[in-house]
């Protein structure tokens, strides 16, 4: 028996199954240099492959919105012209031209500082692989013939993979590459399947059809398990199933403590499909609608009408508040249709509200769309990355300008729409009392806040262990925000990953957090913890934790062991 400890749990759960090692179709490497008279033929071959890929992807968009982005990549003029130029000028055949152009795009994405954008290189690889399979007449689905319970083990898994496979017998995912923002992580959570990512060397330690146990709750993989170990984990899986059945009974119940304090449990979403999924878990509303996906999964700045259609549908679907964060991209989160200048440190560069205030017409199109949608539900507007009161004034001024335009045009909207801001920078913490007099609500973004407060790049493996939201500086900052908000009748929520961390729920409850916003899959577990807790006891716990000087001391107070 061999036990492997894993740091990156992408989606929690326990599974047992035979190893299914994903073997990709063998594509021929083609480096042919073609004669002039062959150029037109190779261009036609590539254009036909693009047309076929468009048809395939159009059929997949309904299964997962990410294929909309893949469809745009196939159509992308830069990719198309790159391939055609190499065919014409360098006399490459279609396969060689595609391979060289895709490699250039992959290099650009993998060189970006932001983890999310680095992992979009996988999309480029996925799209180019699809095109290459079409060019060579090779089937691109390596998942045919799975007839028993398996755990998929791969170098990496793409969105196309997860749609191509029959999920009936898929019990979990293990990948050698990838991070917590990779597609396999996002999709595994959506599917409710366990996933472990970034497991170095796993492909060299397991063979096809070996029995594998994965415990994505504790971060453990067990190879060559003994019968007694298999039975032990089968019992755990049965217990896990019973727990899920019990949690499902909480769906329609409020998130209320034993002594009567009620909080809101909301979901972080990227689109309509996420909202529908979160409703199945009994969400109270949407605490974070990531509007940037409307921009990133497109080949142009989405128009006011395009955005309005999405926001309106979202508002009508929600059974509570819909908090839409305005465009939150940066120099490290590129848009295929807009050229950003290269920045030495994009996390401290031109991003989020700074971009919106400079690209005023783009900002106004979004604000008008959000305002119009506010006539159809409890819509709230949230500005990201605010560091000064002047910035907030400027953003609100543009909002007022949009309201006046809609008034003149006779278009309905909620004139009392609530306006809030993300708390994710040290500046926003220091000026929190000033901000509390200017907004209706705060939402604490612990992902960036922790990174900025501790000066730790969470994507840097060398120091990622230092990135910890239980750090006393982070906890005291959270407390300061909540206290300032409540003193000024400002509602305080949290939409960072910390809000859905079961180890932190009682602490955040005790600090007085009004709204927890998280991935839909952890809503019911969080509700269970809240309903099992006395608020007064949680307050005592939080007070003690905030007085501690080290993370270890905080862990001791909270009884955290890992």
How many distinct structural domains can be found in the chain? Answer: 3
CA distance 101 to 73: 13
Q: Which pLDDT belongs to residue 436?
A: 98
CA distance 318 to 274: 11
Mark whether 272 and 127 lie in a shared domain: no
Mark whether 347 and 302 lie in a shared domain: yes
CB 479 within 8 A of CB 494: no
Backbone dihedral angles phi then psi of residue 118, each to the nearest 5 degrees: -60, -40
CA distance 311 to 52: 32
**CA torsion, points 337, 338, 344, 350, in degrees to nearest 10?**
-130
Domain that holds residue 390: 256-558
Q: Which pLDDT belongs to residue 44?
A: 94
Strand order in the sheet with 9-11: 2-5, 220-223, 211-215, 14-21, 150-154, 170-175, 195-196, 9-11
Catalytic residue list: 183, 495
CA distance 196 to 187: 12
CA distance 414 to 396: 15
Structural domain contains residue 31: no
- Tell me the sheet residues that pair with 5: 220
Backbone dihedral angles phi then psi of residue 510, each to the nearest 5 degrees: -65, -30
Q: What is the CATH number of the domain that holds 356?
A: 3.20.20.60
Instruction: Work out the number of other CB atoms within 10 angstroms of the CB of residue 19.
Output: 20
- Tell me the sheet residues that pair with 151: 19, 172
Q: Which pLDDT belongs to residue 361?
A: 95
DSSP code of residue 500: G
CB 425 within 8 A of CB 446: no
Mark whether 10 and 100 lie in a shared domain: no
Q: What is the CATH number of the domain that holds 158?
A: 3.50.30.10
Measure Cα distances from 206 to 58, 195, 242, 521 in Å.
36, 17, 31, 30
Q: Which helix (H) or strand (E) holds 95?
A: helix 94-110
Q: Which pLDDT belongs to residue 173?
A: 92
Direct distance between the N- and C-terminal alpha carbons of the chain, in angstroms, rounded to an integer = 23
Q: Which pLDDT belongs to residue 48?
A: 94
Structural domain contains residue 192: yes
CA distance 446 to 444: 6
Q: Taking phi first (over 0 means left), then psi (-120 to 50 degrees means alpha), and beta for anything else, what does residue 559 get?
A: left
Q: Which pLDDT belongs to residue 275?
A: 94
**Length reported for the chain:** 562
Mark whether 204 and 344 lie in a shared domain: no
Nearest residue to 221 (alpha-carbon basis) of 212, 229, 234: 212
CA 162 from chain centre, in angstroms, equals 17
Nearest residue to 126 (alpha-carbon basis) of 153, 156, 82: 156
DSSP code of residue 169: G
CA distance 558 to 119: 34
Q: At what angle do helices 66-75 and 39-60 cross, to 10 degrees?
A: 160
Structural domain contains residue 437: yes
Structural domain contains residue 164: yes
Q: Which of 106, 136, 166 is the last residue of a domain?
A: 136
Beta strand 321-325 with 378-383: parallel, antiparallel or unpaired?
parallel
Q: Which of 136, 156, 190 is the last residue of a domain?
A: 136
34 CB-side CA count, 13 A? 21
Mark whether 127 and 193 lie in a shared domain: no
Nearest residue to 399 (alpha-carbon basis) of 420, 385, 378: 420
Q: Which helix (H) or strand (E) holds 395?
A: helix 389-409
CA 171-172-176 angle, to 5 degrees, is: 150
Mark whether 57 and 13 lie in a shared domain: no
Mark whether 7 and 131 lie in a shared domain: no
Residues of the chain with pLDDT under 50: 331
Structural domain contains residue 250: no
**Residue 212: exposure state from Cβ atoms within 10 A (0-12, 13-18, ≥19):** buried
CA distance 501 to 9: 12
Instruction: Work out the number of other CB atoms within 10 angstroms of the CB of residue 407.
Output: 11
Structural domain contains residue 245: no
Q: Which of 173, 205, 226 is the last residue of a domain?
A: 226
Mark whether 107 and 73 lie in a shared domain: yes
CA distance 419 to 310: 20
- Tell me the sheet residues that pair with 223: 2, 212
CA 33-39-41 angle, to 5 degrees, is: 115
Q: What is the CATH number of the domain that holds 62?
A: 1.10.274.10
Mark whether 194 and 277 lie in a shared domain: no
Mark whether 131 and 156 lie in a shared domain: no
Mark whether 130 and 148 lie in a shared domain: no
Structural domain contains residue 414: yes
Q: How would you label 373-383 residue by residue, b for 16+ Cβ within 10 Å and e otherwise?
A: bbebbbbbbbb
Mark whether 343 and 465 lie in a shared domain: yes
Measure Cα distances from 422 to 131, 386, 493, 538 in Å.
41, 7, 9, 25
Structural domain contains residue 435: yes
């Amino acid at each position: 028996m061999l036990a492997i400890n894993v740091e990156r749990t992408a989606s929690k759960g326990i599974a047992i199954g035979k190893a299914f090692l994903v073997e990709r179709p063998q594509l021929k490497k083609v480096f042919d240099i073609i004669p002039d008279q062959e150029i037109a033929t190779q261009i036609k071959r590539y254009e036909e492959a693009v047309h076929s890929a468009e048809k395939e992807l159009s059929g997949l968009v309904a299964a997962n919105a990410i294929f909309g982005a893949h469809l745009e990549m196939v159509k992308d003029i830069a990719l198309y012209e790159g391939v055609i130029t190499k065919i014409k000028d360098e006399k490459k055949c279609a396969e060689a031209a595609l391979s060289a152009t895709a490699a250039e795009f992959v290099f650009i994405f993998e060189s970006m500082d932001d983890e999310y954008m680095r992992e979009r290189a996988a999309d480029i690889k996925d799209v180019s692989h699809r095109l290459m399979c079409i060019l060579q007449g090779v089937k691109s689905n390596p998942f045919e013939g799975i007839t028993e319970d398996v755990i998929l083990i791969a170098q990496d898994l793409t969105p196309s993979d997860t749609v191509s496979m029959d999920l009936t017998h898929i019990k979990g995912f293990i990948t050698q590459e990838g991070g917590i923002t990779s597609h396999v992580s996002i999709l595994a959570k959506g599917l409710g399947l366990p996933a472990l990512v970034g497991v170095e060397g796993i492909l060299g330690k397991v063979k096809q059809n070996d029995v594998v146990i994965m415990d994505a709750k504790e971060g453990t993989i067990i190879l060559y398990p003994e019968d007694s170990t298999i039975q032990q984990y089968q019992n755990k899986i049965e217990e896990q199933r019973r727990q899920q059945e019990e949690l499902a009974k909480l769906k329609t119940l409020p998130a209320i403590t034993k002594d009567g304090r009620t909080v809101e449990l909301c979901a972080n979403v990227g689109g309509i499909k996420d909202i529908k999924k979160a409703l199945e878990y009994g969400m109270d509303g949407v605490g974070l609608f990531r509007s940037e996906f409307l921009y990133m999964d497109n080949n142009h700045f989405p128009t006011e009408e395009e955005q309005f259609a999405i926001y309106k549908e979202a508002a009508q679907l929600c059974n509570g508040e819909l908090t839409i964060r305005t465009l939150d991209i940066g120099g490290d989160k590129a848009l295929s249709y807009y050229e950003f200048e290269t920045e030495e440190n994009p996390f401290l560069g031109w991003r989020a509200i700074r971009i919106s205030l400079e690209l005023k017409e783009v900002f106004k199109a979004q604000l008008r769309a959000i305002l119009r949608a506010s006539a159809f539900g409890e819509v709230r507007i949230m500005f990201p990355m605010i560091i000064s009161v002047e910035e907030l004034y400027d953003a609100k001024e543009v909002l007022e300008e949009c309201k006046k335009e809609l008034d003149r045009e006779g278009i309905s909207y909620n004139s009392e729409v609530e306006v809030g801001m993300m708390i994710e920078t040290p500046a926003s913490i220091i000026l929190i009392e000033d901000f509390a007099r200017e907004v209706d609500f705060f939402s604490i973004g612990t992902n960036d806040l922790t990174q900025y407060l501790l000066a730790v790049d969470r994507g840097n493996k060398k120091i990622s262990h230092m990135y910890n939201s239980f750090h006393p500086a982070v906890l005291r900052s959270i407390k300061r925000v909540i206290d300032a908000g409540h003193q000024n009748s400002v509602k305080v929520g949290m939409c960072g990953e910390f809000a859905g961390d079961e180890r932190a729920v009682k602490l955040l409850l005790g600090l007085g957090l009004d709204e927890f916003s998280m991935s839909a899959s952890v809503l019911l577990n969080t509700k269970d913890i809240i309903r099992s807790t006395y608020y007064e006891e949680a307050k005592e716990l939080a007070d003690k934790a905030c007085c501690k000087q080290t993370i270890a001391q905080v862990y001791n107070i909270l009884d955290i062991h890992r």
